[in-house]
Amino acid sequence: MAQYVHKETIKDNVKGAPFQFQEKVFPFLYRYGTLLVILLTIISFSLANDKFLSYQNFTDILRSVSIITLLAIGVTISLIVGGFDLSVGSTASLATVTSAAALVLYRQETIVAILIPIAIGLIIGLLNSFFVVKVKLPDLLATLAVMYIINGLHLTFTKGYSIYNNMPLGEGGTAPGVFLPSFLFIGQGEIFSVPVPVIIMLIAVIVVHFILQQSRFGRLLYITGGNEEAARLSGVPVQRYKMYAYLLSAFFATLAGIVLAARIGTGQVSAGAPLLMDGVAAAFIGFSVFGAGKPNVIGTFFGAVLIGILLNGLTMLNVPYYAQDIVKGAILIGALAFMYYEKKK
Amino acid sequence: MAKLSLSNITKSFGDQSVLKGVDFGVSSGEVHALLGANGAGKSTLMKILSGDYERDSGTITIDEKEQFFKTPADAKLAGIEMVVQEVDTALVSSLSIAENVTMNSFISGTSFFSWNKRNKKAKELLRRVGLHIDPTFPLSHCSLAQKQLVLIAKALSSDISFIILDEPTAALSKKEADHLFTVLRELQKDGVGIIYISHRLPEVLTLSTKITVLKDGYVTLHEDTDSSSTKRIVQAMLGNDLVELLNDEEKRVLGKTLFEVKEFTVPATNEKISLSVKQGEIVGIAGLVGAGKTETARAFFGADPSPDPIIMNGNKVKITSPQKAIASGIGFVPEERRKEGVLVDYNVIENLTLPVLNQFTKFGLIQKEQEKKEAERWIKQLGIKTESPSLLLNHLSGGNQQKAAIGKWLLNDGDVFILDEPTKGIDVGAKQDVFQCMKDLADKSKGILYFTSEFQELLAFCDRILVMYDGKIAGELTKEEATMEKIMHFATGGHYGTVRS
């Protein structure tokens, strides 16, 4: 009897509430949950540290976000065709080193220091698509192998040393070239007090988003990833579209590497390695933004922003960098869990 | 003697009421057939019975004792086993046959076991289902029919009183199906109560002892098989508005030859095929499972390209890819609708315009307004039932998905349509629509190659019927001379004993 009464009171107290939670709150969280988390993070960090909420700090955040976003756009495109590109981190490293080498070791102009890494990046993209599309290796494994090869290549090329202005050379003397101001402008310059990397990122996000949403190219990329066999039987050249995706993925990784080199002003070895995980996390968090449920560039951008804010805020609160990964992982799990839970329903 | 009965079962999902008070039951030694069009509530009812879903109200009793199944394990404990339609989802293909058969004791048995005992037990169970195969082989060696028998053997490994079979013959050849029926009759003799779900009325009428028909969540027919008939069942499935199976008596006017192959090699079977189709002609290609229909259809469309050319409108063309086929005016509706025919995560517009997306593209950008307008026109013309053109295909019924799979080739305005089992797994009403669709195409002077194992459908409205057996064309029949017996005669290689399994 007691149990019965108990049940009844609960039912009366929250009349209609569970219904509303299911019908209204959940879809809202599904669509805007990630944005809400970003907002809450900003609020809590600004309460914890009054320097957090300044224009200077926000441009700093966006500056660091821009490199992750550029790389993550590539990851997103590989995810769209149902693939996965693990080699983007080492591609970025290689781009950083080659552009630095072009400037410092071979005294090349800025334009050469940009074009060489892009050309190399596209070769890597072709290599990836050859293994995935022609040899038909699973993408995760093929790009993992390519990741190792590229990583080894860029370490062999630099013998494990970073490339910087006036560095001593093995055969005596110092390096002949320097990081040219026009190159450094890419990573350190500002236009109307907006950092150049942020401008590059915003342009990339908007252009890629527009192409993915409005063009035939974008639609067919998504369709290829949606169901490769059905797409093929509808006349979509799926192999070609997968190749495009890996080329674009490598291209954006290279772009991220160039901006990184220009920002830090050295050709640091293995600089791209930590970018891989952040980029992948950003792309996956992006699935949940606006309840898209699939890879999308706007989502990826917000995913990168979330990661950037967390890293920045936690650093300000003196959380050591090695502990920050715990937070990143937790956020990623949260976003994924939410998405898959909703999908299953 | 055990008696399972369900009474007044209801179930809704959200606002949608799927079962509205259904009574159903089976006793030991009975074969109770459960029929109904797609969406009638058969699967939901069986999922409730096998513990997958919980009922909203109503009672399930076994020998007067009320049962509450919260998980599939509860239903198994009560002696109810289910043999699902997609057998691959219920078996582990990397394990041996013996391990699959004895899976239940893996889960609930002792921690250590003897391989000898396991193999012996598996062999014994496999003998009960008439499968003579080394149980140490990996399951991946089994054909689809064998896997089904393995799944039944697995069900027998525990102490079962009732077994549910969901469309078990959907992918079986005649011989394989006959073998299954023998096994089922044995089980029936052993006192197992069998619930048999099928679309195929002839086998239901020969096999079952009782028949229940569901329509829209209600029972519309419940009677002994002896006093039932095809007509009564179809009427109960369709409701009051009985549609006569489309019988197309008028002779169509045929034009010039559209599509022709001569000694065309089908790479998957390595056999040579010669056939042709004229304007306005529906050529039926009959064949049992394993006859090489799908392989041939795919080769014509360039999905598995052949080294030999086809002759399209008098011109020799080598079809090296689906793109090439589409450019030559061929459309293809593949057998596996959800896996190959349509993109279920994309909306109706996107599915319909996919092959002709370049028509709606300007400077690389999709003209979405124009695309939508054209798609809406075709949705209306094809009679695709959808709330909105931007609804995902996943939310459409099987028949309407199939209309989209056919419809996308109408936008392309092709000349030849290759359809592979287009009526597979769709209900009677949707079948009528698909037939009408094909008839309309023929009236517009298109050529149609219609591959199917549903011979009755071919008889209804094909101008010519070719029968395939073992990768080759075994016989050709005109509309006038074709009968069920003649088709079956060719389809089984002249005599019943030699059907390839």
Q: Which of B324, B343, B372 to mutate against chain A (most A CBs within 10 Å)? A: B343
Which residues in chain A are closer than 8 Å to B393, comparing Cβ atoms? none
State what percent of residues in chain B have pLDDT above 90.
21
Cβ atoms B311, B262 nearer than 8 A: yes
How many beta-carbon pairs under 8 angstroms link A with B?
A: 61
Q: Provide φ and ψ at B212, rounded to 5°.
A: -125, 135
DSSP string covering B378-436, please?
Answer: HHHHHT---S-TTSBGGGS-HHHHHHHHHHHHHHTT-SEEEEESTTTT--HHHHHHHHH
State what percent of residues in chain A have pLDDT above 90.
44
Strand order of the β-sheet with B257-266 is B271-278, B257-266, B310-312, B315-317
Average pLDDT over residues B138-143: 85
Residue-level pLDDT at B439? 86
Structural domains of chain B sorted by starting position, each given as residue range(s) with its CATH number in brackets: 3-238 (3.40.50.300), 257-344+414-498 (3.40.50.300)
CA distance B389 to B58: 38
Asked if B350 has any chain A CB less than 8 Å from its own CB, the reply is yes
Asked if A214 has any chain B CB less than 8 Å from its own CB, the reply is yes
CA distance A319 to A313: 9
Residue-level pLDDT at A72? 95
Which residues in chain A are closer than 8 Å to B344, comparing Cβ atoms? 227
Residue-level pLDDT at A182? 87
Would strands B330-333 and B416-420 be described as parallel, antiparallel, or unpaired?
parallel
- Among B301, B339, B366, the residue with its CB nearest the CB of A230 is B339
Average pLDDT over residues B359-385: 88
pLDDT above 60 for B243? no
Other C-beta atoms lying within 10 Å of the C-beta of residue A160:
10
Residue B172 DSSP code: -
Q: Which residue of B has its CA nearest to A23?
A: B14
Which residues in chain B are closer than 8 Å to A214, comparing Cβ atoms? 365-366, 368
Q: Where does B148-209 show beta strands of DSSP type E?
A: 162-166, 193-197
User: How close A232 comes to chain B (CA, Å)?
Assistant: 7
Cβ atoms A41, A281 nearer than 8 A: no
Give, in order, the Cα–Cα distances in Å from B99 to each of A221, B81, B95, B104. Answer: 42, 18, 6, 9
Query: Is B346 within 8 Å of A216 when comparing Cβ atoms?
Result: no
**What's the CA dihedral at A233, A236, A242, A243 to 10 degrees?**
130
CA distance B33 to B213: 8
Residue B226 DSSP code: G
Asked if A127 has any chain B CB less than 8 Å from its own CB, the reply is no
- Among A215, A223, A230, the residue with its CB nearest the CB of B341 is A230
Residue-level pLDDT at A3? 38
Q: Of all helices (H) and strands (E), which one includes residue B441?
A: helix B428-443
State what percent of residues in chain B have pLDDT above 70.
92
pLDDT above 70 for B244? no
Residue-level pLDDT at B283? 92
Q: Annotate B56-102 with three-state secondary structure.
A: CEEEEEECCEECCCCCHHHHHHCCEEEECCCHHHCCCCCCEHHHHHC
Give the closest residue to A70 by CA, choosing from A308, A287, A240. Answer: A308
Residue B36 token pair: 């109904």
pLDDT above 60 for B302? yes
Q: Which of B61-65, B211-215, B233-237, B238-242 shows the lowest mean pLDDT across its residues?
A: B238-242
pLDDT above 50 for A4? no
Please tell me which of A106-115, A177-186, A214-223, B363-372 the model is most confident about, judged by mean pLDDT.
A214-223
Which residues in chain A are closer than 8 Å to B332, comparing Cβ atoms? 233
Supply the Cα-derived Rg of chain B in whole angstroms.
Answer: 24
Q: Which of B15, B335, B345 to mutate against chain A (most A CBs within 10 Å)? A: B345
Average pLDDT over residues A120-139: 93
Q: What angle do CA B41, B47, B50 make, to 5 degrees?
A: 145
User: How close B234 comes to chain A (CA, Å)?
Assistant: 33
Residue-level pLDDT at A330? 85
State what percent of residues in chain A have pLDDT above 70.
91
Cβ atoms B295, B471 nearer than 8 A: yes
Q: Which residue of B has its CA nearest to A228?
A: B340
Average pLDDT over residues A65-76: 95
Q: What angle do CA B304, B307, B309 make, to 5 degrees?
A: 100
Residue-level pLDDT at A14? 42
Q: Which of B62-71, B207-216, B426-435 shows the lowest mean pLDDT across its residues?
A: B426-435
Residues 6+ apart with CB under 8 A from B158: B76, B79, B81, B104
Average pLDDT over residues B465-482: 85
Which residues in chain B are closer than 8 Å to A237, comparing Cβ atoms? 321, 323
Other C-beta atoms lying within 10 Å of the C-beta of residue A182:
13
Asked if A207 has any chain B CB less than 8 Å from its own CB, the reply is no
Specify the residue for token string 């109904």.
Answer: B36
**What would you measure as the largest C-alpha separation in chain A, in angstroms?**
93
For chain A, give the mean pLDDT.
86
Residue A5 token pair: 């009464």
Which residues in chain A are closer than 8 Å to B323, comparing Cβ atoms? 235, 237
Asked if B417 has any chain A CB less than 8 Å from its own CB, the reply is no
Query: Is A234 within 8 Å of B355 when comparing Cβ atoms?
Result: yes
Supply the Cα-derived Rg of chain A in whole angstroms.
Answer: 23
Asked if A235 has any chain B CB less than 8 Å from its own CB, the reply is yes
User: How close B358 comes to chain A (CA, Å)?
Assistant: 8
Query: Is B343 within 8 Å of A220 when comparing Cβ atoms?
Result: no
Query: Is A223 within 8 Å of B344 when comparing Cβ atoms?
Result: no
Confidence of residue A21 (pLDDT cuts 50, 70, 90): low
The whole-model pTM stands at 0.74
Express each pLDDT in A32-55 by its tens digit: 888 888 898 889 888 888 888 888
Q: Where does B225-377 show beta strands of DSSP type E?
A: 257-266, 271-278, 282-286, 310-312, 315-317, 330-333, 361-362, 365-366
Other C-beta atoms lying within 10 Å of the C-beta of residue A162:
16
Residue B364 DSSP code: T
Query: Is A233 within 8 Å of B341 when comparing Cβ atoms?
Result: yes
Structural domains of chain A sorted by starting position, each given as residue range(s) with its CATH number in brackets: 52-344 (1.10.3470)
Asked if B391 has any chain A CB less than 8 Å from its own CB, the reply is no
Residues 6+ apart with CB under 8 A from B250: none
Residues 6+ apart with CB under 8 A from B140: B93, B94
Asked if B271 has any chain A CB less than 8 Å from its own CB, the reply is no
Q: Which of A211-220, B17-26, B301-310, B448-457 shows the lowest mean pLDDT across its residues?
A: B448-457
Q: Of all helices (H) and strands (E), which one includes residue B221?
A: strand B218-224
Asked if B58 has any chain A CB less than 8 Å from its own CB, the reply is no
Confidence of residue B73 (pLDDT cuts 50, 70, 90): confident
Query: Is B340 within 8 Å of A230 when comparing Cβ atoms?
Result: yes
Would strands B282-286 and B447-452 be described as parallel, antiparallel, or unpaired?
parallel
Residue-level pLDDT at A19? 53
Residue B79 token pair: 């002696």
Average pLDDT over residues B57-83: 89
Residue A335 vs residue A342, higher pLDDT: A335
Asked if B323 has any chain A CB less than 8 Å from its own CB, the reply is yes
Residue-level pLDDT at B483? 78
Mark residue B8 as left, alpha or beta (left: phi above 0; alpha: psi -120 to 50; beta: remaining).
left
Residues 6+ apart with CB under 8 A from A14: none
- Among B323, B339, B346, the residue with its CB nearest the CB of A223 is B346
pLDDT above 50 for B314? yes
Query: Is A226 within 8 Å of B343 when comparing Cβ atoms?
Result: yes
Express each pLDDT in A230-284 by its tens digit: 999 999 999 999 999 999 999 999 999 999 999 998 888 888 888 898 899 999 8
Give, in order, the Cα–Cα distances in Å from B250 to each of B280, B282, B439, B484. Answer: 13, 13, 11, 20
Asked if B362 has any chain A CB less than 8 Å from its own CB, the reply is no
